[in-house]
Each structure stands twice: as structure tokens, then as C-alpha cells.
Amino acid sequence: MIDRDQLVRRYLNVAGFRRGAMRVLPRPVFDFTDGAAEDEFTLRRNEAAFHEPALLPRPLQGVGERDLSVELFGRTLSMPVMIGPTGLSGMLWPDGELAAHRAATAAGTAFCLSHASTVPIEALPKAGNRWMQVFVYKDRGFTRSFVDRAAAAGYDALVLTVDNQTLGQRERDVRNGFSIPPKLMLKVMGAMAIRPNWLWRMRERRDFTFANYTGIEGGADRNTLAGRMNALLDPSMSWADVAMLRRQWAGPLILKGILHPGDIEIALDHGVDGVIVSNHGGRQLDRAAAGLDALPAVAEAARGRLKVLLDGGIRRGVDVLIAKAMGADACLIARPQLWGLAVGGEAGVAAVLEILRRDLDRALCLCGVTRFVDADASLLAPGVVSPIKPKAIAA
Ligand SMILES: Cc1cc2nc3c(=O)[nH]c(=O)nc-3n(C[C@H](O)[C@H](O)[C@H](O)COP(=O)(O)O)c2cc1C
């Protein structure tokens, strides 16, 4: 049985988990997690954006125990880092989505299930704070069926991803001949053969598939399912679809993939409760702005009227503090939790969350901030472009 704290000591940081995942996963599977669209500029920009801002600590604030908790959509999370939706987590660890959900719940944070999970919507136990991510399909009835299923299963929030209406060109996957299910090309088989631990671990789940789609036309045939799923996506999706989902879904509605501040007022008019400032981890439009670069203007437009979350490039706890100072209420991670999952299943995800929690706690302490929710732009060194006005901070 792998222990969370052993993994924390062994891997030390998210970069350590990434290297660990590279060692245990077949190369095409690792590249599926690590890669992004085209030249991967946006992927690199996501991470680099966090290296720009500099913090101005105020150590004499009498900081005692830090409080990392945040209120989101009527629930309290123990920390401002949630697990974002990732398709096919079950390819990294058997029933990976269940493992990651357990880790998030134990850490007191939220877990978002992907439309492309390898376990069905209904399989996630009713525990913790569960969000469901959906797409808009040409067949709106099919979209509505996902929402009905999420409601019947008691999910806490609905996340509509809006930046995936046509699939990004992920060239590592193309070059690796990566497909679902893995095609038995020599190259792919070779990559798998040199990762016996992964092969052994996956032996009972070799038939993993997109569990929420097995009922679509053409049935559960794994050889054609991925292609048929992509053909369902509708580029003509519009705000009318947001209105449709708003009428159907009574709980918190969150739009994932917002970068433009001009969308905020429209989202508010449509009764949206939150946005995730995101470029899909650079996997869709290469050259899209980094989430962190887009964040201040979005937060300024929101003026606290809806929750502003951020994903993309969070690799350290201090990144979460920087995001907060630039206007985010909380953050989500995708690749870091996948690398944790690949290395140690539930314990691996728990270790990644714990590392980020400890990092963030330390950064708050060093900055002289007791409550995460109080961190604001006054922490940022001048020269950092942030239109978010700092609140008066207690002298
Ligand atoms: C392997 C992988 C699969 C993903 N699958 C989905 C998905 O099914 N739905 C979705 O909305 N976003 C998906 N994303 C995007 C993430 O939710 C998130 O926006 C992005 O990866 C955040 O950046 P980070 O990986 O740097 O944390 C996926 C990302 C990765 C790396």
C-alpha cells in the first residue's frame, strides 16, 4: 500500500511527479497527458506566466495558523485547489477517476468528472463536492441527457466546456500514432512493452473506454467510439445553449474556457455562476493567451458578481497565491493530478494536493497573509500589470 507522505518525500514537487509519470507510462500515454496543440506555445506560456509576477511580503502582520479555505457555490473547500476534468484518467490507473475523486474528497476539495471519463457519471460515489463537465453536441437532446444524468446522480455543479467545439491538433498524439483504444502498431506496442508495471496494473482494465458514450449510435465499439464522439461536437454552439442549460440545470453553472473579459457581462445575463479562465491547458488554440495573463481583465469585469476560477500551468502552491492576487477565487489542476495518478493512484493524487497545500501555506506565511481569501493585488511588486485594486490591508 503506497503512502501519501512517502510519495510527498520521494517526489517533492509537481516536476518530480512529472518525471515519475514519464518513467512509468508508455511514451504515447505520457505524451497524451503532457502534450498540447501544435507548437505548444500556449502550454509553455501558461507555465511561464507564473514566473513573471514578483511578490512583496509583509512579514510583520502577526500571522499565526493560516486558513486556506474558500467558499464556492455554497460549499466550503479546505483549500483553493480543485481537480479539473481530464478524459481517460482510467488509462493511467485503473478506475483513475474514482481514485482521484477519493483523494480530492479526503483533502476536502472538489473533483470535476470529465465527459470522457472511463467510469460512468453514476459510478462516482456520493461523497465530497462533485462537479460534472459536459459539452454541447449537435444533438441537443444528447447534451441534455448528460445534464439529466448528472442531476439524477446528485452532482453539485455543472461545468460547460466551451473551448472544445472542434478538436485541437495535438501533434505528439498524431506522431505517436496514439488512439483510443491503442492501435496495435509496432511503435505503440514497443512503447508499452517497456513499461511492464503499467501493463500489469492495467491488466484488468484493458478494455477501458469512454464510459458515458457507450449508448451512442454505433454502440460501444471501442475502435470507432473516439471518432464518433468527436463528430458529435457542434461548432455552432452559442449563448442560446448556455440559456438552455441554465433552464435545465438548477445548481451552479460554470463556463470553462473563458478568456475574454467581454464574455463576463453576457455570462451574467445568462445566469452563469462562475467561469474557469482557461485555454484547455494549451490543448486547443495554440497562441491563445495564458489563463493568468487573461485573468485580471476577466476578474475586473466580474467585480465579484460571479466566481472566477483559473486553470493552466499551476505547478506550485505559490502559483495559486499569485492567481489569487491577480483576481482568481480558486484554481484547478489537471496535468499535476494525472502525473500523481500515474505514479501512485489515489495516494499519488493525495500527495500532489498535499504538496500544493503545504507550498501555499508556506507562501502565505512568508507573505504575512493569514487567510487565503484576503490575499490581493497589494502582494504584487509594482510593474506587474494588474487592474485589480488592492483592498486596504490591516496595518
Ligand atoms: C490529458 C488531459 C485530458 C483533458 N480532458 C479534458 C476534458 O475531458 N474536458 C475538459 O473540459 N478539459 C480537459 N482537459 C483540460 C483540463 O481540464 C485543463 O483545462 C488544463 O489541462 C489545465 O491545465 P494544466 O494541465 O496545466 O493544469 C484535459 C487536460 C489534459 C491534460
Joined grid coordinates for residue 248: 435545465
**Which residue's CA is the nearest one to ligand 1's atom 1?**
33
What length is written for the chain? 395
For 239, counting Cβ atoms within 10 Å of its Cβ (0-12 exposed, 13-18 middle, 19+ buried), the class is middle
Q: What's the Cα-to-Cα distance from 359 to each of 84, 354, 376, rounded to whole Å?
A: 19, 8, 18
pLDDT under 70 in the chain at which residues? 1, 180-186, 384-395
pLDDT the model gives residue 356 = 98
Percent of the chain scoring above 90 in pLDDT: 83
Paired sense of beta strands 81-83 and 330-333, if any: parallel
pLDDT at 228: 86
In this prediction, residue 384 carries a pLDDT of 59
* CA quadruple 91, 97, 102, 104: dihedral sign: positive
Beta strand 81-83 with 274-277 is: unpaired
CA Rg value for the chain: 20
Ligand 1 pocket mutation, candidates 283, 292, 310, criterion most atoms within 8 A of CB: 283
Sign, Cα dihedral of 176, 179, 184, 189? positive
Does residue 280 have an active-site annotation?
yes
Give the dihedral of Cα atoms 184, 187, 192, 194; nearest 10 deg. Answer: 150
Please give the distance, rounded to the nearest whole angstrom, from the Cα atom of residue 368 to the centre of ligand 1: 33
Global confidence as pTM: 0.95
What is the whole-number distance in angstroms between the Cα of residue 366 and the centre of ligand 1? 31
Beta-carbon contacts of residue 288 (< 8 Å; ≥ 6 apart): 42, 259, 279, 282
Q: pLDDT (tens digit, 9 = 90+) per residue, 277-326? A: 999 999 999 999 999 999 999 999 999 999 999 999 999 999 999 999 99
Q: What is the pLDDT of residue 129?
A: 98
Pairing outcome for strands 157-161 and 81-83:
unpaired
Q: Tell me the CA–centroid distance for residue 355 and ligand 1, in Å.
A: 20
| Residue 27 backbone dihedrals phi, psi, to 5 degrees | -50, -45
Q: What's the pLDDT tens digit per position in 258-288?
A: 999 999 999 999 999 999 999 999 999 999 9
Sign of the Cα torsion 229, 114, 254, 293 reads negative
